[in-house]
Every structure is written in C-alpha cells, then in structure tokens.
Amino acid sequence: MSRCRICGEKISRLPFYRAERHPHYKSLHPDYVKWHGRFIMKVLKAGLLIVILVLYLDIISLQYYGGLATYPLFLVLAYVVAIYIEFLRNLVRFRHQWNEHHPPLPDSPAGPHST
C-alpha cells in the first residue's frame, strides 16, 4: 500500500506506476492525469533535444579540442533539476486545489492536507 500524492488516501501500489493507468488517479484526479500525461511528453521531447545537443557539443569538442567538454553534462544536470522542480511545484498546486474543495480524509497523514 502507498498513499496518493494529492489527497493522501491509501491506494494500492501498482508495478511500473503511471498516473494515467491508476484507477484512483483516473477517477478522483482527472486533471492531474491530463497534466501528468502532457508533462511526460514535454519531458521526453525536451530530453531528446538535450541529448542531441549534448552529443553535438561533444562531437564538436572532440573535433576541435581532442577531448570531451564537461559543460554539456551541466546541461543534463540543469535539465533534471528543472524537471524535478516543475514536477514538485505542480504536485503542490494539485494538493492545494484538492484541499480547498475536499475535507481531509480521516486516515490520511497530516502532510498532504496541511497548507
């Protein structure tokens, strides 16, 4: 068992979890499911562009300088940090929206329902 990231309700842990496929999220948090699907597509598209850019910069670095440059790796690190921050920011937004319209569940921890 685990807890819903938005409302704190106890839910079953599905293997290879994806919000779009979990019945709890589909029925109680359809806006989150839509956002999560779009977010994943943005992550994949932007990630592909970052990988292409890093490969290009590494090839240029090898041709002109004879070694790999470290700055392309900082692009990857910055991308991962930005994606993580964006995900957390939106998760907090969905929690606040849920808490505004629903009373706290009796068996839920104080965390998701505290503002």
For the segment 43-67, what is each residue's pLDDT rounded down to a tens digit? 999 989 888 888 888 888 787 877 7
**Whether 9 contacts 109, CB under 8 Å:** no
Q: Report residue 103: phi and psi, to 5°.
A: -70, 155
CA dist., res. 9 & res. 1, Å (int) = 10
| Mean pLDDT for the stretch of residues 6-27 | 79
Q: Percent of the chain scored above 70 by pLDDT?
A: 83
The two most distant CA atoms of the chain are separated, in Å, by 64
Task: State the average pLDDT for the chain.
Answer: 80
Check whether 39 has a pLDDT greater than 50. yes
Residue 1: the pLDDT is: 72
Q: pLDDT band for position 89 (50/70/90)?
A: very high
Q: pLDDT band for position 101 (50/70/90)?
A: confident
Contacts of 109 (CB under 8 A, 6+ apart): 3, 8
Tokens of 24: 């709890």
Phi-psi sector, 108: left (phi>0), alpha (psi -120 to 50), beta: beta
